[in-house]
Amino acid sequence: MHEATKAPKISFFDYIVIGGGAAGIPLATTLSDKYSVLLLERGGSPYGNPNITNVLNFGSYFSDASPNSPSQQFISEGVVNARARVLGGGTSINAGFYSRGEQKFNKEAGLKDENLVNESYEWTEKVMVFKPVVQKWQSALRAALVESGVTPYNGFTNDHVIGTKVSGTLFDENGKRHTSADLLQYANPKGLSVLLHATVQKILFKTKGRTRPLAYGVVFEDSLGNKHMAYLKGGDDDEIILSAGALASPQLLMLSGIGPKEELDAYKIKVVLPQPFVGKGMADNPMNSIFIPSPITVEPSIVQVVGVTKFGSYIEDAGGFDFIFTKPSAYQRFSPQMGGFFIEKINGPLSMGELKIKNLNPTDNPSVTFNYFKDPKDLQKCVYGIKTILKAIQSKPFAIYKYGNMTSKDILDVNLILPVNQRAHANTSSSLEQYCKDTVRSIWHYHGGCRIGKVVDDEYKVFGVDALRVIDGSTLLNSPGTNPQASVLMLGRYMGVTILGQRLTRERHNKK
């Protein structure tokens, strides 16, 4: 890894990968085996930062608004969200829960080679996934979910299965986080160049004398504001691959001249290719949480157990943690160390919005709407999820962690006072539907904006353009599994192996 300030003014590579996150690192690492690859990451290194690496510091960065924070806040419809700004992407700042996607995802994502899917998961898991040490709070949750009907109990498995299970985590037995940056140990050091604090301004295209625009380079800035140019060497199979995430990938396409024409015209961006679907189909799985005050101290733990319901809600939890990342006084007469959060997120979702650029600065957040709960089916899943959580709270296995005299309504009312979002609402619960709307949060699983079938084909090539792909969460139609990081990591490796194999086959054929 090098700071972008040390990069030459002009450089040439077989592949340029934009974004060192869950997809970009496995992709660049794989391609470096045979070809020269430049990996550009706008953030810094996750190593040596205890806020990132130590489980007990989880979430401390969400309130850090400094330009070097690994997390960049954005707000949509009163819901506070975060986009990663660090090597490792979301794997460096998330809650670490690791669970593979369902078969439906493989079909939607065009991943036809089942053996390669499994090998790609295993490739990741060998380096950065661990079996969690389940203690009392998580064990109580596990038993409470089973008693509440989230069955069967499936034990420990990384597979997506209906029922209650323990799944993998990025935190090892010492509470140390392992991120996708750890996958760089697989890289060919002679083939891969990783630049930190390298902010891509735009992708460059050749259009003269061509029926289709050809991506041939990128302009990026280092931390001092100096501009650098990186170009493809010009081989027939050389490519630029956008892996900058659900916000930055559609944003960068627009800033580079690919997007809805009226939007590009409004900012006087030269239109390379009018593409009305860029930025469309943005979705974020709404999360709702319930804090349960406990009469006894709860050992700190973040997500290790999940209940995968038949009706499309996933139930997880965090114990002994401030999971709303606020000041202790917000809990009034309670404290996060004396209690824990049950978390419910819905699958899909069906509700969607859009992303628009606000200016020409790629470091600024675009404008995003997700239209939380616009589709009534999403709201119904949330209601079922909250009902299941309330049932679990009242179950026998959970009795030691709940005040005996607190009713379900008392617990909901405590939660309506907590500052979980910026929405105005009443301080007492009127219905579970209203509770879902009033306390909606993000679980950082937003996706869309460069959807497969609309912006990219089933090989992730951008429609109408040569030498450009998008491979990351912006292509997803639904958030896979209970938590998407496993699937996005797998997608990066899968597509790296696929691209490598296709190119080597073509080169061997041409030599004959």
Tens of pLDDT, residue by residue over 67-118, are 889 999 999 999 999 999 999 999 999 999 999 999 999 999 999 999 999 9
Quick one: pLDDT at residue 64? Answer: 85
pLDDT score for 366: 96
| Whole-structure pTM value | 0.96
Tell me: pLDDT of 356 over 90: yes
Give me the residue label for tokens 């979002």.
421
Mean pLDDT of 180-207: 97
407 to 96, 389, 427, 456: CA distances (angstroms) = 32, 13, 16, 50
Task: Note the pLDDT of residue 328.
Answer: 87
Asked whether residue 181 carries a pLDDT value surpassing 80, the answer given is yes
Token pair, residue 305, equals 């157990």
Q: Give yes or no for residue 512 having a pLDDT over 80.
A: no
Counted residue by residue, the chain has a size of: 512
pLDDT at residue 460 tops 80: yes
Give the pLDDT confidence of 14-48 residue by residue, as tens digits. 999 999 999 999 999 999 999 999 999 999 999 99
Torsion of CA 489, 494, 495, 497, to 10 degrees: 130
Q: Distance between CA atoms of 121 and 119, rounded to whole angstroms?
A: 5
pLDDT digits (tens, 9 = 90+) for 312-346: 999 999 999 999 988 889 998 999 999 999 999 99
What is the b/e burial string over 18-45, where b = at least 16 CB atoms within 10 angstroms of the residue's CB? bbbbbbbbbbbbbbbbebbbbbbbbbbb
Amino acid in position 441? R
Of the listed ranges 154-163, 207-216, 384-393, 502-511, the one predicted with least confidence? 502-511
Q: Is the pLDDT of residue 425 over 90?
A: no
pLDDT at 509 over 90: no
pLDDT band at 430; cut points 50, 70, 90:
confident
Q: What are the residue numbers of the active site?
A: 445
Tell me the H-state helices in 12-88.
24-31, 50-53
Tokens 């806020």 — which residue? 51
DSSP state of 322: -
| Selection from 344, 322, 454 nearest residue 388 by Cα | 344
Q: What percent of the chain has pLDDT over 70?
A: 100
Query: So what's the pLDDT on residue 510?
Result: 84
Q: Is the pLDDT of residue 385 over 80?
A: yes
Residue 323 phi/psi, 5-degree rounding, is -85, 5
What average pLDDT does the structure give for the chain? 96
